[in-house]
Amino acid sequence: MKINNLENISARAKEAESYNQQFEKKSVEMILVWAAEKFAGKIVFACSFGAEDMVIMDLIYKYKLPIEVITLDTGRLPGETYDLIEATEKKYGLAISVYYPQTSTVEKLTSEKGLFSFRESIANRKECCQIRKIEPLRRGLAGKKAWITGIRKDQSVTRTIAQKMEFDEANQLFKINPLLDWSEEMIWEYIKEKKVPYNDLHEQGYPSIGCQPCTRAIKKGEDIRAGRWWWENPDQKECGLHGYCKVSKKS
């Protein structure tokens, strides 16, 4: 069984690479249309309501693509994110599927380790992300063949290895990153031109927004992801949703 699984992963990875080569000449719109047709009824867009995700949201609506939109409510999101979720549903006339962490698991974590254990070690932080993000996402992806994200290569050092089409080994499905090569400037040009709603925190120095206790505004000259888990090194700053390996620092 293990051998067969490894063979299956290898075959899916090769298939993803084949698609990825095709994507090099396709626009974001073309990739989304292709994905909606290729994985009809079995594809979701996991929206975190960052600026990038709002671009994808707008394109899905513009082309009336039959792609289910899901999001994760960790229970610790900023109020501005909840406001944006409501505004998005009203603007685009859709109902977003929300996945929450298991109450009993959160209760056990906080009763045993407190409300801010994630600041004590990387292991503790990843445990919190596992409970509040990764497990709910797996439920949201269950039974699907592909999922779409809004990640970009220049967001962090951990994402430079990403591709537009990948096989997500952890979740056993394809992952599509259509905005991978877009710059931050391109994202905001689209948002302003198309009048796409976005999180008010972006106007307050928050280029990247996650859970409220793990997100702060950045200072002038800082990296755009500097406000996420700011007490950790840049090569550790992934919650595990995307599964990218640690990038070793060069001496």
Whether 240 and 133 have beta carbons less than 8 Å apart is answered as yes
Residue where the block lists tokens 């779409």 = 148
Measure the CA–CA gap between 97 and 113, rounded to whole angstroms: 30
Marked catalytic residue, from 128, 211, 214, 239? 239
- Please give the radius of gyration of the chain, using alpha carbons only, rounded to the nearest integer: 18
CB crowding 30-66: b at 16 or more within 10 Å, else e: ebbbbbbeebeeebbbbbbbbbbbbbbbbbbbeeebe
Residue 128 annotated among the catalytic residues of the structure = no
Whether 244 and 159 have beta carbons less than 8 Å apart is answered as yes
Identify the CA nearest to 155 among candidates 237, 241, 215: 237
Whether 57 and 92 have beta carbons less than 8 Å apart is answered as yes
How many DSSP H helices and E strands does the chain contain? 8, 6
Catalytic residues: 239
